[in-house]
Structure 1
């Protein structure tokens, strides 16, 4: 615990009994935090607050996969927007907490924050988002990508299938990784392009599989390969799944030699159909703001942009 000269106390929460205190600042995922603690995706020692008496001025928290010994993502950095400038308090909070939470000598985990879809146009939202980004810019972070968060609801209807395509379950992990490796050629995804600057396409595919797909508890039988006709060549694949929070289209890709023929619509329609048949209330997805072809495919399939996300890295 640290107490600054102006009597701001900086400390981690003591346990699940202080979730309500931590949730004293509004954010779209507050309702998930208690379950995250119970599911070991968060730890009390990864969730820090800056208090002036009983008033919560700022907070910071990291997230990891269930049981991880160190966090994978910084996903909460908030301030009391009704207070006078608390940028310095928030920066001190982050630096103090990071020294305790993050392994010495490692690059800090990426920061990801959900923001309103119209945050660039709304002056209040813009000011709030930029304040939080500014805190991390002051400690060396920079914007890497802005992403669209997308949602399909049953009222939108299941997209029509592409009659040119047949579908089968993914054969095994090796087949999926091989397909992922192929679709990375020419990818527009910023995270994938960043990884490709440091490792081979196969290594990037393995990393993505191990960090995300391997943890899904939903059936692997949902994952689909799309082929030209029943016994034709694969044109791509789609991974409908359920993560710890929502049914999702986790990944979708068309192999390079089959791009430009509209097969993305059929792959997305199949992934949507698989989840819709489970009677889910919604399906979530995301794509980079700059990936116009994928964003347009989601729009054609009835997915709406309900939020955005900003990602920053060191």
Structure 2
């Protein structure tokens, strides 16, 4: 079978791209309008007017390069076509010499009961040089879920400024169980990891920074922090951490409860958060506070040798 590999020409061709289906389909049009996507980042493999494979990339508005790959689908029997599509698209989408952005995919929490679809997709990308970095839990708190009362162990205040946020984030990276941070620490200093996350994401959210909280002991010593926020898609617990030396004492419960309270005080449809499957203490804390595991996700990274 001979397929045509190309990006869509514009929003008018979205119906072609949407011939295959995925959870994020209803966000693509708005993402294009906001600038999170560009037509040249949305690729299809077409045969006789039928799309048999597709791939797409996402980024922050105004960015010149994609931040992540979040669409990759193919019809039954078209794995080789899908492989060729991604290889062809990356030559155009990924700047020459750059490592391709991570691939992120939302999957059912019980996907391992019938793993074929997930494993087939991963196998295609592995042939192109990708590898699994981590599986994550996607969590959701819904209005009406009880919020734990303040137990009085901690006091909460705002950050004194960006420097305090960076300093506390830098300290929290020590001993982290987060797979992304651990991978970043192989090539960056703890301060650089904190700066990339703070300046690259937290500062960019449209929600007020007054929502951010530092938890302290009664004597004023910081114990941990939480960044309740609202991104382009809704309310989130964007970042949460307990400082080394204070871990293992249950402080995460008070800090998560405070972050939940901040967001729940507004008219919200839900709060979302995520954590690595392997970060058992954090996953248990979310569960204690009524956060439901409604979905999982897989994150795959690419070896530098894949760069064009």
TM-score by length of 1: 0.94
What CA distance in whole angstroms lies between the structure 1 residues aligned with 2:284 and 2:94? 39
TM-superposed deviation, 1:25 = 1.3
Distance 1:159 1:103 in 2: 48
Give 1:1-314 correspondences, 5 Å limit: 6-80=1-75, 83=76, 85-121=77-113, 123=114, 126-229=115-218, 231-314=219-302
**Aligned partners of 2:236, 2:148: CA distance in 1, in Å?**
16
| Contact kept in structure 2, 1:159 and 1:272, CA below 8 Å | no
Q: C-alpha offsets along residues 212-251 of structure 1, whole Å, 9 cap, x if unaligned?
A: 112101000000000112x520100000000111200000
Deviations along 1:252-296, one digit per CA (max 9) or x if unpaired, are 000011111100000000000000001211000000000000000
| CA distance, structure 1, for counterparts of residue 20 and residue 203 of structure 2 | 33
Cα shift at 1:209: 0.8
Distance in 2, Cα, partners of 1:162 & 1:43: 48
Q: CA deviation at 1:112?
A: 0.7
Show CA shifts across 1:174-215 (max 9, x none).
110000001111100000001111111111100111221121
User: Counterpart of 1:188 in 2: which secondary structure?
Assistant: coil
Distance in structure 2 (CA, Å) of the matches to 1:273 and 1:17 = 42
- SS of 1:71's equivalent in the other structure is coil
Measured in 1, the distance between the counterparts of 2:152 and 2:24 equals 39
Question: TM-score w.r.t. structure 2 length?
Answer: 0.96
Q: Residue 155 of structure 1: CA displacement?
A: 2.2
- The answer to which structure, 1 or 2, has the higher relative contact order (CA under 8 A, 6+ apart) is 2
Q: Secondary structure at the match of 2:245?
A: helix
Report the secondary structure of 1:198's partner residue.
coil
C-alpha distance in 1 between matches for 2:235 and 2:66: 23
Deviations 1:106-151 (A, max 9, x none): 1111111000110011x2xx11111111110010111010000000
User: How far, CA to CA, are the matches of 2:18 and 2:200 in structure 1?
Assistant: 28
SS in 2 for 1:241: strand
Find the aligned partners of 1:293 and 1:300 in 2 and give their Cα distance: 11
Distance 2:167 2:21 in 1: 42
After superposition, the C-alpha distances for 1:77-112 in whole angstroms (9 at most, x for unaligned) are 1112xx3x1110000000111001110011111111
Mapped to 2, the partners of 1:60 and 1:100 lie a distance apart of: 13
CA distance in 2, matches of 1:102, 1:311: 18
Q: Is the 8 A contact 1:63 1:72 kept in 2?
A: yes
